[in-house]
Amino acid sequence: MKRFLSIAMALCIGLTMSIDANAKRFGGGKSAGAAPSHQTRQAAPAAAPAAAGAAGAAAKAGGASRWLGPLAGLAAGGLLASMFMGGGFQGMQFFDILIMAVIAFLIFRFIAARRRKQADMMAPAGHAPMQREAFDAKPAASIFGGSAAPAARPVINAPAWFNEQNFLEAARNHFQSLQQHWDANEMDKIAEFVTPQMLDFLKRERAELGDGFQSTYIDNLTVQLDGLDDRADKTIATLTFSGVSKNSRFDQGEAFSESWNMERQQGDNQPWLVAGIRQNG
């Protein structure tokens, strides 16, 4: 019985700890594609004082936390190896093997259910590319009467149909959706959100992580519009995303700040596409 419990524990540790070992956020945390056209207004992530303290702790301990998964996997592997070499599997019955298979199946079912639940909570309905119609809605009415107060900083050279508040909200949702597709290695869905040049880069980066699922959590996500130009052939916008990227809910994570070059061809029902990503610092 003790031998069986040891085997089951090693199996559980090896399966659960190895999932997040090589997780990386969308794009691999690298700069690629067309550089954003506008100067970002901040070069470091913006966060509340508490979040800033957590990010500072992550800078000191984040590197060590990334090694916990691989080290746990190695420990489990060493335990199994010692059992093999020391005769720990001698005398195992078919029923023991069957129970181990059931445990492994339940673990994978739990992980898959967690991934589906996370996707349902964070992904917007439809997963459709950002289109012009998403920004035609009127600003929400203020509870004090009249319309909500406009943004303090005017958008530069914005077309008449553009609504900054709705654009930023849609951008936040699409950031989370792209991370979900990246974790699931769904490059066909990512293709709907990026230019062909960016897609080629992303395919190469994702291939380096393997074909399996990975888990990435984004906390304290903020998004700001740094500039927008309505040109004759297309509209170009620069968005800066900041937050804390984690490989698990128990990971302290790493603070990040990156700017996206967003492009939209002129015409009705044209989607916004990610044409480039730049890491800020």
For residue range 54-78, what is the model confidence (pLDDT) as tens digits?
444 444 444 444 444 444 454 445 5
The Cα 145–Cα 199 span in angstroms is 46
pLDDT at 102: 72
Confidence at 230, pLDDT banded by 50, 70, 90: very high
pLDDT for residue 232 is more than 70: yes
pLDDT at 224: 95
Could you tell me which of 130, 196, 212 has the C-alpha nearest to residue 166? 130
What tens digit of pLDDT does each residue of 109-123 get? 666 666 555 555 444
pLDDT at 97: 72
Confidence at 28, pLDDT banded by 50, 70, 90: confident
The Cα 85–Cα 80 span in angstroms is 9
> To the nearest whole number, what is the mean pLDDT of the chain?
72
Confidence at 90, pLDDT banded by 50, 70, 90: low
Which residues are registered as beta bridge partners of 235? 230, 264
What tens digit of pLDDT does each residue of 215-225 get? 899 999 999 99
pLDDT for residue 21 is more than 50: no
37 and 227 in contact (C-beta within 8 Å)?
yes
pLDDT at 279: 94
Q: pTM for the whole thing?
A: 0.59
pLDDT at 118: 53
For the ranges 16-20, 68-72, 169-173, the one whose mean pLDDT is highest: 169-173
Three-state secondary structure call for residue 112: helix
What tens digit of pLDDT does each residue of 146-160 get? 444 444 454 578 999
- Domain range list for the chain: 2-138+154-279
pLDDT at 47: 40
pLDDT at 103: 81
Residue whose token pair is 């290695």: 185
Cα 242 from chain centre = 12
Structure tokens at 51: 């979040």
* Mean pLDDT value of segment 5-32: 59
What tens digit of pLDDT does each residue of 126-147 get? 445 565 444 444 444 444 444 4
The Cα 2–Cα 249 span in angstroms is 31
pLDDT at 139: 47
